[in-house]
Structure 1
Amino acid sequence: MNNTCNCSAPAESEWEVIMKKYHIRPLSDEGYVGTGIYLVVIGVIATVGNLMVLTMFCREKQLRRKPHNLLLLNLAIADIGISVFGYPLTTASNFAKRYLFGTTGCMIQGFATFTLAQTDMNTLACLSAYRYISVCKPQYIYKLDIKFTKWVIAFMWIYSFIWTAPPLFGWSSYTFEPFGTSCSIDWTNRSTAAVVYTWCLVVFCYLIHVFIMIFCYTSVCTRAKEIQNSLDISTSKTMSGEDITCCKKLEVEKHVTWICLLMTGTFTILWSPYTFVCLWSVYDANLPVWITTWPTMFAKASCMINPIIYYLSNPLFRKCAGRLLSCQFRHREIVRPRYRYRVNKLSSGGMVNREINQVETHFL
């Protein structure tokens, strides 16, 4: 009798094949659960917050008449897109401790989230340019109308596709992150073409944007300080009607500029570690898994930051958010918040305090 055993080794699962092929280094069970809970929290905040922003723009036509606000609307749309294409897939995969949607799903997720994140960066750079023109080159403000801004928004999306589509056609590729439950560019690919693509992304999709934002906001702050100093000199004498109007405009511009600067600064801070680690991965494919995981999770928090900034800095947004959350929101005109400050005017009878009320018409 032939007692030879014909048993064969059990077939590998699809996930085991993917782990070997893409050199995935899984997290511990606690690590996956922890990142899953973290993504649930930021995903809920980002989704609810940005939906409130979109609801405000849908209900209030007056907000959409401001070119500056159209850029904020575009920012919210991109953030909502990341909430739809990024958070659910990665969160579910973290709780499952493996990517659930296969290599095709990974490619789609990587392309979608990268395009939306790049559009975020483009929009923030444009916001800084709009602030620069408004404060430093006010003679050109008339060019920043609704029609021009729509063309700017279209260009931003096209620019994003120009740099995120090449991996779909063979110039680098979209693949699994080292921890296996999220997808992005294959940063560890050391072929000459892939390295060139990575450096192009760093230069044309990050460094140029950061340089534009630094230049614009530095110029804006410098110009605002110069205007403030000249107004202080005028205040010590007699303040004309033109000076009072300038004070009003300066107060509004400072308010909007500081919020835009805060949005830009937080986005850059959240994405800079990820950019650095991705560039590092090009030259060292064996980075510890925690070094590749933390910057990725840090960057994913960027979508929830803007609604938080709006809520903390804008009475209009707080009022609308309260109505939405209490199911009392009505389609009606919302009174814009007033910014009040005092101007000391030297008159024949002495120093007189004059209150100036400025009605804010920007969303910010």
Structure 2
Amino acid sequence: MDDKYTSKLSPAVDYAAGVYLVIIAVLSILGNAAVLITAAQRKKRLKAPELLSINLAVTDIGMALSMYPLSISSAFNHAWIGGDPTCLYYGLMGMIFSVASIMTLAVMGLVRYLVAGATPESGNRFQRSTIGMFITLIWLYALLWAACPLLGWGGYGPEPYGMACSVDWAGYQNSLNDSTFIMALAVLCTILPCVAIVSSYLGITWKLHKAYQTIQNNDRLPTFGNVEKKVMLMAILVSAGFMVSWTPYVAVSLWTMFHAGGKDSVTPLVSLLPCLFAKGATAYNPLIYYVFRKSFRREFRELCCPRCLRTDLTHDDNGDTYDDNLRWQSSTAHNTGRNIRSATTLVSHSTPRHPDYPTGNR
């Protein structure tokens, strides 16, 4: 076995990492499978923006199915299994699903921003065919970047701890070829999507704030403040979840890129922990769905226990459930309320996994 594929960690740490990955894999597969199954059951009622959330679940479960079994078996083996061919495969899959994930989150944020506050009279600005075209472009974009190392621009290589593969970040110092690829990847697949995501959610927050200001003195709409807090919290979790999950991995990658010691400048354990932390993001999104979407909770309970379904909730035409006290009550604020309801429903429908993934493997 090539030394670069031998674990640099102790067997105890490898086994612990393997157990952790098993748990994350199971949660990710079951959680995202539930999202996909419930979406399939109500496919005729799905709104166009919801297709992006479904695509996000596909990237999560795709990563769990295509990558985690290899990393888990390698952890228990105390060495990477398969050598160069499987390393190339693992890096390729990681690039495809990571780029697809972050670009899906970026498009999702922009779509939310554009549609937030639209009146029912104006209709949905995005049809299914338009969102379907966006999703197709997202996957083509991901495949293009994943294929670049295969075509000679950039490369894949093992992580410093020896049991996973990703973009060869340390190659930044080795050649102009590697450095230009990494810089282009960082700008076009990490920085710009992140800027789009943060800007979109800030814009949505501002729209909702201004909309609720117009009715804050209306005594007949006492629940608007609670709804606003819920939407605000959801947007914050979407944005903060991405930052929290991936910042450690990005920081370690940048360190190996610019430090003179390259991969040797980071201890194996320090390089392992950010990767494990980032992998947990694939199991995060279904939890967000469950917490913030009553329709998903209802459909999930129906999937697990059809007889346990509550019958005291009603559905609006977007497929989400609302308590009676969230129905619009004031005829004087009717038009404004409809605008806000449209914005709130859109954000609630499209809430992802935990946002945004930076490029590279987890």
In 1, the alpha carbon distance for the partners of 2:331 and 2:304 equals 48
- 2:131 aligns with 149
Question: Partners in 2 of 1:255 and 1:89 — Cα distance?
Answer: 39
Alignment of 1:1-364 (within 5 A): 15=1, 18-19=2-3, 22=4, 26-64=8-46, 66-135=47-116, 142-189=124-171, 190-233=174-217, 235=218, 258-259=233-234, 261-284=236-259, 285=262, 286=264, 287-326=266-305, 335=315, 336-339=320-323, 340-341=325-326, 363=349
- Percent sequence identity is 25
Q: Which letter does structure 1 place at the counterpart of 2:146? A: T
Q: Is the 8 A contact 2:201 2:235 kept in 1?
A: no
Q: Match for 1:99: what amino acid?
A: W
Q: What are structure 1's unaligned runs of at least 5 residues?
A: 1-14, 348-355
The secondary structure found in structure 1 opposite 2:170 is coil
Greater percentage in strand:
1
Tell me the SS of whatever aligns to 2:326: strand
Higher relative contact order at CA 8 Å, sep ≥6: structure 1 or structure 2? Answer: 2
Q: Any conservation in 1 of the 2:234–2:292 contact (CA below 8 Å)?
A: yes
Larger Cα Rg: Structure 1 or Structure 2? 1
TM-score normalised by length of structure 1 = 0.79
Q: 1:113 to 1:99 in 2, by over 3 A?
A: same
Cα deviations by residue, 1:236-272 (Å, 9 ceiling, x for unpaired): 6xx8xxxx8xx99x99898567535523431232112
Other structure's SS at 2:116 match? helix
Closer/same/farther in 2, CA of residues 25 and 35 from structure 1, 3 Å limit: closer
**1:68/1:127 contact within 8 Å kept:** yes
Q: CA deviation digits over 1:278-300, x for unaligned, max 9?
A: 12111231211122111111111
Q: Relative to structure 1, is the Cα distance of residues 327 and 227 closer, same or farther in structure 2, using a 3 angstrom cutoff?
A: closer
TM-score by length of 2: 0.80
C-alpha RMSD of the superposition: 3.3
Q: 1:257 to 1:204 in 2, by over 3 A?
A: farther
Deviations 1:200-246 (A, max 9, x none): 1111111111111121111211121111111124x26xx8xxxx8xx
Query: Number of matched residues?
Result: 324
Does the Cα contact within 8 Å between 1:133 and 1:140 map onto a contact in 2?
A: no
**Aligned-partner Cα distance in 1 for 2:180–2:254:** 11
1-side partners of 2:157 and 2:349: how far apart?
Answer: 39
CA contact (8 A) 1:128 1:213 kept: yes
SS class of match (2:157): strand
Residues 255, 69 of structure 1: CA spacing in aligned structure 2 closer, same or farther, 3 A cutoff?
farther
